[in-house]
Structures are given as C-alpha cells and as structure tokens.
Structure 1
Amino acid sequence: MRKAIRNGIIINESEASLPLSLKSVQYSYSVYESVKLKNGQFVHLDEHLKRLRLSSSGVGMNLSYTDNEITSWLLDLKAEENLFNETFRILVLGENPAWVYITHTENFVYPESYYTEGVALSTYRGERFLPQLKTSNLLLSYMALKDAEKKNAFEALLVDGQGFITEGTRSNFYAIKNNRVYTAPDEKVLSGVTRTGVMKALSDMGIPLIFESVKLEELSSYSSLFITATSMRAIPVKSVDGVNVRTEDIKTVQKLSELLGEWE
C-alpha cells in the first residue's frame, strides 16, 4: 500500500485525509509545493522549501517545522517506498501549529511531440489571488483547465482585466520577439525554481529577458511562444485559442529546455 507522511509520521496514503469540519479545509487555507525526485535525487529542494516557507509566512501560517525536518521526512518516505523517479507534494494546512502532509505520484513524462511540435493552449479571463504565493486557492485554475480540456488544449493561459497574459494555470508564459524573451513581472505571477532557471539559461544563451507582460491581442507579433514548469521544462506553443502561432524560434526553446533538464 502506498505511504504518505503526516507531521513526520509515515502513514498509509488512505489515512492522509482531512476533517471537513476544519476551517482551514473549508476556506482552502493551505499552501503547497511539488518537489521532483529524479534518478534518486531531489531537484532544487532548497529552493522549493524556501518558497514553501515564503508562501506559508505570506498567508500568516505558523509553520513550526524546520526545513531540515521536512527534508528528513522526504528522505524517510523515499526510503520507505524505495522511490527513484517521483513527484512529492508537500501540503501545509493552516492550523495552529500548521499540519504538514506529504504524498507522492509518478513523474509526468510528456510526449516528445510536445517538444518538437509544440502544444495547443487556450485562454481564460481571471487573475489569481496572491499570485506570488503557492496557495491551495485553485478554483480559478481548475475552471480554466476544465475549459481548456473542452477545447482540446494542453494548458490555459490566464488573462487579466487589461488583456495581458499573466501565466498559465500550472506554468509560466514567455514570448520571443527580435531575439528577446518577454514575460510578466514577478509581482504578477508565481515565480520560483524553474523561472530562475530560465533566467540563468537565457543569460548563458545571450538572450535578454524582459519583464513586460504580453497582450493577448498582440500574440501574432511574436516569433515564438513557450511555457515552463518543473514537470515540463520548456515546451513550445503551436496554437492559442485554436489559432496557429509562429514557431520561428522553436530551436531556441528546445535548447532552453535541454539546459533546464541538464540542471536538474
């Protein structure tokens, strides 16, 4: 039977349940992180724990457990289940003190065609609450993804009230024009591990990164679009809302994805 962690104790995953009477459950007062285990090693664990602590403090949670304690729990669960390639989800529930649950699933493996041909995206109007924090307030993302599924799209891009694309429901969004990459400012999106990696990779490639939001109605003026996330590295975009977009810089996106993979 698959195992999980509850406040440092290994339990059966079926026991990793939350009472519906808890206010923190009723109000989705929780934050989380997804940490990738690749070839037996945790990928950018320190950075993920740093963001977990930033998110928890940002919503006023009392996370009394240290990073070392949470790391030891991850290692315990990895050893207990003899895991090698997996994604761990750390959920911090806003009780006093906070509760910590850790579960795990197999790593996503995306088809090679996503990287060679690109993926279809849709758009959805809405702005995340506290976008800089990784909270469990995911209703907007859920609705946007359900809408994307109906349109046979891989991911949904969120568009704010001024018509600017901020980010995907589970990814960051970038656009290329004149050998420059554009993305929304940090204060408008969930920044962190992969986004930092993108900055480093683009710097190594000699490509400037401009923190400037892209307007939906101006997508046709960009020579390529792509999205990034821990699970997917960098994936090019082939269409948005059923309209084909330019893919002139797909080799650049593929090189970026390759670098992100090497640094895992």
Structure 2
Amino acid sequence: MEIIENDYYIFNEDIKGSNEFDGNFISKGKSLYEVIRIYKGIPLFFEKHIYRMINSANISNLKLPFNNEKLKDSILRLTEINKVQFGNIKVVFNFYNNECNFYCYFIKHHYPSEKDYKEGVATILFKGERKNPNAKIMDVSFREGTDKAIKNKRVFEAILVDRNGNITEGSKSNIFMVKGDCIYTSPVEDVLPGITRDIIIKVVLECGYKIKEERVNYENIKYMDGLFISGTSPKVLPINKVDTICFDSSNNSVIKEIHKSYDNYIEQYVSQFS
C-alpha cells in the first residue's frame, strides 16, 4: 500500500486532502511511475524523468493521457500548495479496468547522512532479475523481497545479480565500479536507464575518465578500487562493503571528483530551470 507525506496530493487534475488518499490502488492493474526529487522547489531533471516514463509506456503498449506541460504543472502546483522545498514526489499512471488514473504525491524520503557520504554504506548481493528492466513498472512482490533482505541484513542497498552471475543494478539504484581511471556499469539493456546514471556517465567523461558499459561478474568486484550507488535520493554514494568485502570508496579520488561534479551539475540545472 502506498503512503503519502504532507497535506495534499493530486488525483487526475484535482487537488485533494491526504485524508482522502487510498494507497491500495497500487495493487490493482499496472502502474507506470517516476520518483522526482524536489530541490529548492525545483523538480530535478524533470524532462529526463518524463522521457523515461514515455519510454516505459511505449515498451508496455500503454498511452499516457497527460502531456509534459500538464505533468510539470501538477508537480509545481503540489510543491507550492504543500510549501515543500526539499523532498521526493511520486507520479503514477495507474491502468485498471480500461481506465487510466493519474496520482501525484509526496512520499517519505531517506537521504544519506553526511556520515554515509564520508564513510560509505554497506550493501549485499541479491540474486534476482526484474521482469522488464528497461520499463519503470511497479513490481510489488519483487520490491518486497529486496526490502526484506535489506532490512534483515541492516544494509543500505541490495545489489542485484542475474542468472549468469553478473551485477546489474541496485534494488532502487544504479551501481558503478571504479578501477583506476575507468568506471564500469552494466549495459543499459540490462538495467533501468536511471536519470542519475545518464548524468553521471556524462560527468565521468567530462572529468576525463573512461566509462565502460559492460557486464561484470559478481566474483570480480573484489578487484575493484571502489564502488558507488547512484539514484534520485542517494545521488553519488560510496559503498564501503559488499557482503563481507570491504572498500575504501569514500576516499577514492575518482569517486570524490564525480560526486563533486554531479553536485555542481544539480546547482547548474536549478539555476537554469524555467
């Protein structure tokens, strides 16, 4: 069941009070969704999120009833009426019984602490694959399985390993691995094409490093100099442990430069948003 934050949400084109929200809709039909970070009142990388949602709809043979401007207006209206400057908004198109309903609401977010960035976070390997990794579609049972493993092991994230033993992505993030001046990440056909992932690839190249989108077997991560998580909430987050293998990722000069350059990219986007 979905749980919302703050006082108001949007259903189709109407603003409603949070007391009217029924989060059980998520278990019915098929839901396409995006989680967009609100930073200084601005929906970060809005255009890229909407492009990905349209792509998910095309892959799933579904038609979205809203255009880009109506979506942007809904997000900005919700941000303004809730008086939120920082947080995460979830936009969902729910297809059920030959109807499509639009939901837009704030969700509880967990941003890494300064300590997490300074020391890195622990992760585990999790054998599992998404049914359709390129489309962002709700898969409640898969999410429940990874969330349970994360909670039981008391770690920040679960790194997915496919049937061939290759690392794909995190349960709710993308994964990057660093060896020297080269950064490895899974091919886009194996993962959800993350918004942060795309920007980091651009940042990596601008910093003068090499990027290799190729499959890496989980047994080879012990040879890496460091790893990091990327995503809407974590941004660029160093990993200090994968199962029992330890890494000094937070002190890796390459990861530190990528982190700083990504933060600069955010500030530039906010300053130019219209």
Structure 1 residue 18: Cα displacement: 5.8
Q: Do the aligned residues in 2 keep the contact of 1:16 with 1:101 (CA within 8 Å)?
A: no
Quote the Cα distance in structure 2 between the aligned partners of 1:126 and 1:19. 26
Structure-2 separation of matches of 1:5 and 1:93: 13
Q: What residue number does 2:13 align with?
A: 8
Residues 190 and 150 (structure 1), Cα distance of their counterparts in 2 relative to 1, 3 Å cut: same
1:89 aligns with 2:94: no
Matched AA of 2:178: I
245-254 or 36-45: which moved more?
A: 245-254
After superposition, the C-alpha distances for 1:62-86 in whole angstroms (9 at most, x for unaligned) are 2121111111111221221222112
Alignment correspondent of 2:270: none
Q: Distance in 2 between matches of 1:207 and 1:48?
A: 26
2:34–2:49: 8 Å Cα contact kept in structure 1? yes
Report the equivalent of 1:155.
Answer: 157
1:127 maps to which residue?
129
Q: Which moved more, 1:122-131 or 1:139-148?
A: 139-148
Partner deviation per Cα, 1:77-99 (whole Å, 9 max, x = no partner): 12212221121100110144421
Question: Counterparts of 2:209 and 2:226 in 1: how far apart (Å)?
Answer: 14
Change (3 A) 1:122 1:158: same
Residue 207 of structure 1 pairs with residue 209 of structure 2: yes
Q: Is 1:31 paired with 2:32?
A: yes
Q: Cα gap change, 1:246/1:228 in structure 2, threshold over 3 Å: closer, same or farther?
A: same
Is the Cα–Cα contact under 8 Å of residues 186 and 213 in structure 2 kept in the other structure? yes
Match of 2:67 in 1: 66
- Kindly state the Cα deviation for residue 181 of structure 1 after the two structures are TM-superposed: 0.6
**TM-score normalised per structure 2:** 0.89
Q: Which residue of 1 aligns with 2:52?
A: 51
Deviation, structure 1 residue 142:
2.4
Partner Cα distance (2:92, 2:73) in 1: 16
Taking structure 1 as the reference length, the TM-score comes to 0.92
Deviation at 1:128, TM superposition (A): 0.5
Question: Could you list the runs of 5+ residues in structure 2 that have no partner in the other structure?
Answer: 1-5, 267-274
Match of 1:104 in 2: 106
Structure 1 residue 117: Cα displacement = 1.3
Paired-residue identity, %? 25
With over 3 angstroms needed to count, the CA separation of the structure-2 counterparts of 1:249 and 1:207, relative to structure 1, is: farther
| Counterparts of 1:171 and 1:25, CA distance in 2 | 22
**In the superposition, relative to structure 1, how do residues 246 and 216 fare at CA in structure 2: closer, same or farther (>3 Å)?**
farther
CA distance in 2, matches of 1:180, 1:56: 34
Tell me the equivalent position of 2:77: 76
**Which has the larger displacement, 233-242 or 140-149?**
140-149
- Supply the AA of the counterpart residue of 1:226: F
Alpha-carbon contact 1:220-1:246 (below 8 Å) kept: no
Shift, 1:57, TM fit: 2.4
**Cα contact 1:3–1:10 (8 A) shared by 2:** yes
SS in structure 2 opposite 1:136? coil
Q: What is the CA distance between 1:238 and its match in structure 2?
A: 0.9
**Alpha-carbon separation, structure 1, partners of 2:82 and 2:153:** 38
Bigger shift: 1-10 or 56-65?
A: 56-65
